[in-house]
Amino acid sequence: MKLEVGVLPEGAPNSLAGRIAGMREKIAGAARKHGRDPSSIRLVGVTKEQPRELVLNAIEAGLGDIGENYLQEARPKYADLMACKHFLGHVQTNKARAIVEVFDVVQSIDRLEAGRAIGRASRTLGKRMRALVQINISPSERFGLDPAAAPAFAALLREEEGLDIDGVMAIGPNTSDRGVIRRAFEQAARTFERVGGAILSIGMSDDYEEAIACGSTMVRIGTAIFGVRGYHSE
Ligand SMILES: *Cc1c(COP(=O)(O)O)cnc(C)c1O
């Protein structure tokens, strides 16, 4: 079944494959503009509030990484999908086992108990989980660790078997002030340098350019690929 993609501003391609290709071109353009190798930036398609059929079509169109914020929403939607699945939401310790069952990467570890619960579940299930430390770089964000605390936090969780702490994730400030966004992402990049690992997950539909300028290795794009959320929900 082919579903129409959600409404986007005028000029956006109307096929999902076209939007994914267009997004890859924009990422590559931003990378080159800032003297970076386009292949050093991974695209995660954020599928929250989008139907499973659309996610299947996106994977068919070559999208290899997908992400969700809610376990309950992802569990049926992501069943048996051939893609790398990223958990982006708040980790409740009593859901750790189910999170490890459904996902391959947890980007949102901001409490020791959460990281340890994911580690424990990984060992129980015989799975190695990749995880990122979520830091808070925006006054409008509820979650995320104080960036200054991130290196010691990562060191503690690296003692946890079954868990690979592989970098940092952050959500940019909710503002149209490009300078504010840029400074927040620079702080994320400095924190990433101290934490270590391979992944700096910053940048969404409205701020991926600044994120790439600041060294993002992973952008998480929802709206610019799938259209406005809620379009399919009736
Ligand atoms: C929703 C969401 C995204 C994608 O946001 P868009 O603005 O639609 O691209 C990325 N990361 C997280 C953590 C999100 O919750």
Q: For residues 172 and 178, give the distance between their C-alpha atoms in angstroms, rounded to a whole number.
A: 11
Ligand 1 pocket mutation, candidates 105, 204, 208, 221, criterion most atoms within 8 A of CB: 204
Is the pLDDT assigned to residue 58 strictly greater than 70?
yes
pLDDT at 11: 59
Instruction: Ligand 1 pocket test: pick from 7, 19, 71, 88 the residue with the most ligand atoms within 8 Å of its Cβ.
Output: 88
Q: What is the pLDDT of residue 229?
A: 84
86: Cβ below 6 Å to ligand 1?
no
Q: In the predicted model, is pLDDT for residue 190 greater than 80?
A: yes
Ligand 1 centre to CA of 177 (Å) is 18
For residue 234, the model assigns a pLDDT of 43
pLDDT tens across 127-184, in order? 999 999 999 999 999 999 999 999 999 999 999 999 999 999 999 999 999 999 999 9
| CB 78, CB 68: distance < 8 Å | yes
User: Three-class SS string for 157-219?
Assistant: HCCCCCEEEEEEEECCCCCCCHHHHHHHHHHHHHHHHHHCCCEEECCCCCCHHHHHHCCCCEE
Mean pLDDT of 51-59: 96
pLDDT at 230: 74
How high is the mean pLDDT of the chain? 94
Residues 6+ apart with CB under 8 A from 209: 30, 203
- Do 108 and 91 meet the contact criterion of CB atoms below 8 Å apart? yes
Ligand 1 close to Cβ of residue 88 (< 6 A): yes
Q: Does domain 16-221 have CATH number 3.30.56.10?
A: no
Range 23-27 contact pairs with CB under 8 angstroms and sequence separation of 24 or more: 23/221, 23/224, 23/225, 26/208, 27/208, 27/212, 27/219
Rg, C-alpha atoms of the chain:
17
pLDDT value of position 14: 75
**For ligand 1, is residue 170 a contact (CB within 6 Å)?**
no
Q: Which atom of ligand 1 is nearest to the CA of 225?
A: 9
Q: Would you place residue 7 in the very low, low, confident or very high pLDDT band (cuts 50, 70, 90)?
A: low
Ligand 1 atom with minimal separation from the 171 CA: 13
- Determine the average pLDDT of the residues in 75-99: 98
